[in-house]
Structure 1
Amino acid sequence: MNQYDKKKLLNYIDAVSFALIDTNLYLDTHPNDKKAMDHFNQYQKARKQALKEYARNFEPLTIDSADIDDHFTWATDSWPWMKRGGC
């Protein structure tokens, strides 16, 4: 993947994250809305998949998308905004 793909994937993660948070807020006041729960689950699945793909091709954006094998690199690698070009 190139830098364009990286930015495109990051924009997608932002969009599904926004949709997930927005749906979550709606569900706070409408907890029995089945259609909203289905949307929430759809956005959550899409976000998890996108975060996993981003981590595999670039670097993890969240701790739960980091692969922890024999060395904990989450805190020792540079953060996305510290890299050349930033987020």
Structure 2
Amino acid sequence: MMHERIALMKRIQEVEFAATDLQLYLDTHPQDQRALMQFNQYAAELMMLKQQYELAYGPLLNFGFSQSQYPWRWIETPWPWEEEF
């Protein structure tokens, strides 16, 4: 179970990195339609991965950015930044 959680978190980080990199590129190349399509694909995948993670392991973000199931799950597992990879 822990291996799947770590693998999913790693994939989230990879996709988030790619989306951020493309976002920075698009800031200087706003007419690059191919890059925009790639950005949108990564953004959609990232949303799906985060939803999948939160359903299985609890919220990734605090302060109202992530919903929680009942009971309150934020304190059940290590926080995302406490993960050991």
Same fold (TM over 0.5): yes
Query: 2:2, 2:69 → 1: CA distance?
Result: 25
- Counterpart-to-counterpart distance in 1, 2:29 and 2:17: 18
Residue 66 (structure 1) shift: 2.0
Gaps of 5+ in 2: none
Aligned residues: 79
Matched residue, 1:59: 58
Q: Compared with structure 1, are the counterparts of its residues 46 and 32 closer, same or farther at alpha carbon in structure 2 (3 Å cutoff)?
A: same
Percentage of pairs with the same residue: 29
Equivalent residue number for residue 39 of structure 2 = 40
Deviation at 1:59, TM superposition (A): 1.0
RMSD: 2.4
The alpha carbon displacement at 1:57 in A equals 0.1
Q: Does 1:50 align with 2:13?
A: no
1:60 Cα deviation after fit: 1.2
Unaligned segments of structure 1, at least 5 residues: none
Task: Give the TM-score of the pair, scaled to structure 2.
Answer: 0.79
Alpha-carbon deviations, 1:34-82, whole Å to 9, x = none?
A: 000000000000100000000000011124442478x8x58xx326158
Give the match for residue 14 of structure 1.
Answer: 13
Answering whether residue 42 of structure 2 is matched by residue 4 of structure 1, we say: no
